[in-house]
Structure 1
Amino acid sequence: MPIGLIALALGGFGIGLTEFVIMGLLPEVASDFAVSEATAGWLISGYALAVVVGALLLTLAMSRMDRKAALALLLGVFVIGNVLSALAPDYWTMMAGRIIAALAHGAFFGIGSVVAAGMVDRAKKAAAIAIMFTGLTAANVLGVPFGTMLGQAAGWRSTFWAISVIGILALIGILTLVPRTTNIDSTPSSGLRGELSAFKSGQVWLSIAVTILGYGGMFGAFTYIAFTLTEISHFPAATVPWLLILFGVGLFVGNALGGKAADRNVDRALLVVLSVLLVVLVVFALTADNQPLAIMSLVLMGGFGFATVPGLQMRVMTYAKSAPTLASGANIGAFNVGNALGAWLGGVTITAGLGYTSPIWAGAAITLLGLIVMVFAATAARRAAQRMTQSGDEQSMVQPTSEKQSLAGSPL
C-alpha cells in the first residue's frame, strides 16, 4: 500500500469529522450563539450545499493545477475554515467558517480519488479509493463520538481546534508523502475543456444518477434513525450513540469490502450491493420493533450502504476516461445531493404522519430506483462492449481475406 494513501485518508478523516461532529454539538453551539436548534441546524445544511458547489467550481478552477498542489491548497482552505469556526464570535461567522471548510470537501475527495487510483495498479484502483474513504468512515466510528465528548468537556470550540490540527497534519502528509501527478500512473489534468468533455458520456450521467439514488436511499433512512431507535425499537436515548458506533463499524467494513469487490467487477458489485441494501432496508422497516433485528439491520444498512461508494466513484472515473477529475468531483457532489434528497423525503413522510419507520421505507423506494438505473446502465455498458467485440472480430476476419486476395494476385 503506498504510504501516500495514509495522508489522503487522514485528510478524509478530518473532513468527515468536520461534516458530522457538529450534529453532536448543536445544543452547545445553539446555546452559545443564542439561536434555536433549528437555526443551528442550518450549519449542517449550509455545509452540505457548499460541498456540492465546491465539488464543481473548485475542481473546475483547479483543472490545470498539479493534483498534489491542488490537494495541499484545498487542505489549507479546510484549515482556514475550521480555525474561523473555532474563533467565530457569532452565528454568521460560524456559518462562513463552515462554508469555507465545505468548499474544500467535495474537491478534495474528487481530486483525491483520482490521485489514489493513480498510485496503484489497475487491479487495485477501487481498493485504493476505499482506503482514502476509510478516513471518512473512521470519522464516523471514532471521530464523532470522541469529538463530541471533547466538545462537551472542553467547549465545542476545542473540537474545531482539534480538527484544524488534524488538517495541518494531513497537509504535511500530502506535501511529503504523495507523489506529484507526473510521477504516478494518473492521467494529467486535461484542462477545463477536456474535463467538461467527460460529461458527453451517457454512462457518466447514469453513474451520477445511481450515486444520488443509491446513497440517498441509505442516508434517507439514517437521517431520522435516532427517532426510529427510540420510538419504534424502544432503545433508551443514552444507547443511541453506541448504536451509531455500530453503524459506523458497518460503514468501515462495507467500504473496504466494497472496494475489493469493485476491483473484480464494478457493475456486478454495485448490482449485488444495491440489491442486498434494498432487502436490508425492507427488513429493517418491517422488524424495527425487534431490538436484536434492529441492531443487525442498522449494521448491515451501514455496511451495504457504504459498500457502494468505492464502486460508484470508480465507475464515474472509468467512463470519464481521460478527463476524470471534474466527473469525480461531480460525483462527490452527487453523494451530498443524495443526502439532501433522502433527508428531505424522509422528513416529508414523517410530516405526513406515516410514522418513524417511514423514512426507511422512503429510503428503500429511492434505493429501488437506483437499482433500476444501475441495471439499465450495466445492460447498456455490456451491449456496447459486445458491439465493440463484434466489430473487432469482423475487422479481424476482413484482414485475412484481403491478404488472400493480395497473394492471389502475386506472381508467386
Structure 2
Amino acid sequence: MPYAIYVLGLAVFAQGTSEFMLSGLVPDIATDLHVSIPSAGALTSAFAVGMIVGAPLMALLSMRWPQRRTLLVFLTAFMAVHVVGALTTSFAVLLATRVLGALANAGFLAVGLATATRMVEPSEKGRATSALLGGVTLACVAGVPAGALLGQVWGWRSAFWAVALVSVPALFAIVRSVPAVPRSEAVEAPSARGELRALRSPRLLVTLGLGMLVNAATFCTFTYLTPLITNVSGLGDAWVPAVLALFGLGSFAGVTVAGRWSDARPMLVLVPGGSALLGGWLLLSAGADRPAVAVAVVLVQGMLSFGVGSTLITRALYAAAEAPALGGSFATAALNVGAAVGPALGGLTLGAGLGYRSPVWVSALLVALAFAVAGLALARQALASRLGR
C-alpha cells in the first residue's frame, strides 16, 4: 500500500475518535450541560446527520479542487470546530460544532476514499479501503478508550482538545505525502451529472441500504454501551475504557480480515458474518446482566460489525465504479444514515422506559431487516433473470 494511504488513515483515526468517543462521554456531558442522557446521545446523531449531508455535498463542491488542498481544508476545519467544542458551555453550540465537524469529516473521508482507491490497482479496492478504515478501528482500540479515560480524569472537554492535537501531525503529513494534483488531471472521470446517474444502479442502492442497516445496528448499541455495562452488567466506571477498547480490538480484527477477503470472496464475510452478527446482538440482549458474557460479546460484535460493514463499503465502491469521485461519498452518507438512525431509535426506546437493554434489541431487529432486504433483492434478481430468458 502507498505510504499516503496510511497518512490518510492517521487523519481518519482522529476523526473516528471524535465520532465514536461520545460513547464514553455521554453521561458526563449530560451532567455538565444539564441535559438528559438521550439528549446528549443526540450529539452522535447530529454528527451522523452532518456526515450524511456533507459527504455528497462536499464531494460535489470539491470535485475540481486538487486532492491535497481539499484534504487540508477539510482537516483544518475539523480541528477548528473541536477547539470551539472544547471551550463552549452551551449545549446548542456543542451540537452545532458536531454538525460542522461532521461536514468536514464527511468531505475528508469521501475524498480520502476516492484518493486511496485511485492509488492502487482496480482489483485492490478492498485492501485500500481496509487500510484507510484501519484508522477508524484504531480509534476504537486506542482513541475512544483514551477519550473516555481523559474524560474521567480531566473532564469531557479534554477529549475534544486531544482530537484537535492528534490532527496536527496528520496535517503536516498530508502536505508531505499527498500529491497536489487536480483530480480531473489524475484520472478521467465523468461529469457530476454522469456520476449521479451512475449512482442509481439498483445493485448499488441495495448495497448502500444494507450498509446503512448494519451500521445503524452497530451505533444503536455502541452509543449507549457505557450505561449498558455500568447499569446492567454491573461493571464500574473504571471498566468503561477497557470494554470500549475490546470493541475496538474486535473492529480492527474485523476490518483486517475483510480487507483480505472483500475483493475476491465477499460472501465469506457477509453471509456467515451477518448471521453471527444477528446472533451476537440477541446473545448480548439476553446476557448483558452477566459481566463475562457482556465483555466477550462486545469483543466479537466489534469484529463482526466492522468486518461486515467494511465489506459492504468495498462492494459499494465496486458497484459505483462509474462514479469514482462520488461513489465514496454516497457510501459514507449511507453508513452515516445508519449512524444517525441507530442512536435515535435507541434513544426512543430509552425514553420510553424500556431499559438499557432495549438498544440491543433494536440492533438485532435492524440486522434481521438487512437479511430480509437482501433476500428480497436476490429473489427479485432471480425472477428478473427467469423472465429475461
- Bin the TM-score by the shorter chain: 0.7 to 0.9
Q: Which one is further off, 75-84 or 1-10?
A: 75-84
Q: How far apart are 1:243 and its partner, in Å?
A: 1.6
**Aligned residue in 2 for 1:321:** 321
| Cα 1:154–1:282 shift into 2, 3 Å | closer
Give 1:370 deviation, angstroms.
1.0
Residue 264 of structure 1, CA deviation? 1.9
Distance 2:280 2:16 in 1: 25
Aligned to 1:312: 312
Note closer, same or farther for the CA distance 1:186–1:375 as it changes in structure 2 (3 Å cut). Answer: farther
Q: Does 1:64 align with 2:64?
A: yes
Given that 2:65 and 2:182 are in contact with CA atoms closer than 8 Å, whether structure 1 keeps it comes out as no
- Amino acid corresponding to residue 365 of structure 2 in structure 1: A
Match of 1:36 in 2: 35
Q: What is the match of residue 135 of structure 1?
A: 135
Q: Which blocks of at least 5 consecutive residues in structure 2 are unaligned?
A: none
- 1:129-208 → structure 2 map (5 Å cutoff): 129-154=129-154, 156-179=156-179, 187-208=187-208
Counterparts of 1:26 and 1:114 in 2: how far apart (Å)? Answer: 33
Superimposed CA distance per residue, residues 134-182 of structure 1 (whole angstroms, 9 cap, x where no aligned partner): 1111112211222333355455444333322322321222222124567
1:74 alignment partner, SS class: helix
The 8 Å contact of residues 64 and 191 in structure 1, kept in 2 or not, is answered as no
Contact 1:63–1:189 at 8 Å: present in 2 too? no
Greater Rg over alpha carbons, structure: 1
Q: Which residue of 1 aligns with 2:214?
A: 214
Partner of 1:403: none
Inter-partner Cα distance in structure 2 for 1:320 and 1:331 = 9
- Residue of structure 1 in register with 2:276 after alignment: 276
The 3-state SS of whatever aligns with 1:263 is coil
Q: 1:319 to 1:175 in 2, by over 3 A?
A: same
Tell me the matched-pair count.
388
* Partner Cα distance (1:315, 1:286) in 2: 33
Relative distance call for 1:200 and 1:181 in structure 2 (3 A) is farther
**Would you say the 8 A contact 1:220–1:346 is kept in 2?**
yes
Shift of 1:210: 0.4
Give per-residue Cα distances to partners, 1:248-303, cap 9 Å, x unaligned: 11111111111212022234532332122112222333333433332221111111
Identical residues among aligned pairs (%): 33
Q: What is the deviation of 1:72?
A: 2.2
Does structure 2 retain, via aligned residues, the 8 Å contact 1:214–1:371?
no
**In the superposition, relative to structure 1, how do residues 30 and 277 fare at CA in structure 2: closer, same or farther (>3 Å)?**
closer
Alignment of 1:328-367 (within 5 A): 328-352=328-352, 354-367=354-367
Is the aligned partner of 1:96 residue 2:96? yes
Question: What is the SS of the residue equivalent to 1:264?
Answer: coil
By relative contact order (CA 8 Å, sep 6+), the higher-ranking structure is 2
User: 1:113 touches 1:132 (CA, 8 Å); kept in 2?
Assistant: yes
Secondary structure class of the residue paired with 1:274:
helix
Q: Displacement of 1:126 after TM fit?
A: 0.8
TM-score normalised by structure 1 residue count: 0.82
Rounded to whole Å, the distance in 1 between the matches of 2:194 and 2:366 is 33
Bigger Cα displacement from structure 2, 204-213 vs 61-70? 61-70
1:296 corresponds in structure 2 to: 296
Q: Check whether the contact 2:64–2:183 (CA below 8 A) recurs between aligned residues.
A: no
Name the amino acid aligned to 1:9: G
TM, length-normalised to structure 2: 0.87
In 1, the alpha carbon distance for the partners of 2:87 and 2:349 equals 38
CA RMSD of aligned residues (A): 3.2
Bigger mean CA deviation after superposition, 171-180 or 129-138: 171-180
Work out the CA distance in 2 between the residues paired with 1:67 and 1:259. Answer: 24
Distance 1:194 1:71, change over 3 A: farther
Q: CA deviation at 1:25?
A: 4.0
1:126 is aligned to 126
Structure 1 CA distance for aligned equivalents of residues 257 and 185 of structure 2: 24
Find the aligned partners of 1:92 and 1:359 in 2 and give their Cα distance.
25
What CA deviation, in whole Å up to 9, does each residue of 1:4-40 have, x standing for no partner? 11111111111112223344445655666x5435555
Alignment of 1:108-127 (within 5 A): 108-127=108-127
Report the equivalent of 1:106. 106
- Aligned partners of 1:374, 1:186: CA distance in 2, in Å? 36
User: 2-side partners of 1:387 and 1:115: how far apart?
Assistant: 40
Going from structure 1 to structure 2, the CA distance change for 1:374 and 1:65 (only over 3 Å counts) comes to farther
Match of 1:254 in 2: 254
> How much has 1:112 moved relative to structure 2?
1.3
Cα distance, 1:245 vs. partner? 1.4
1: CA distance, partners of 2:254 / 2:223: 19
Query: Is residue 64–residue 192 contact of structure 1 (8 Å, CA) maintained in 2?
Result: no
Q: Is the 8 A contact 1:119 1:185 kept in 2?
A: no
Between stretches 250-259 and 170-179, larger displacement belongs to: 170-179
**8 Å contact kept, 2:44–2:340:** no
Q: Distance in 2 between matches of 1:153 and 1:240?
A: 13
User: How far apart, in 2, do the equivalents of 1:127 and 1:19 lie?
Assistant: 23
Does structure 2 retain, via aligned residues, the 8 Å contact 1:117–1:128?
yes
**Superposed displacement of residue 108, structure 1:** 1.8
Query: What SS class does the counterpart of residue 139 from structure 1 fall into?
Result: helix
Shift in CA distance, 387/276, structure 1 to aligned 2, threshold 3 Å: farther
| In structure 1, C-alpha distance between the alignment counterparts of 2:31 and 2:333, rounded to whole Å | 31
Closer, same or farther: CA 27–219 of 1 in aligned 2, 3 Å:
closer
Say which SS state the counterpart of residue 325 (structure 2) adopts. helix
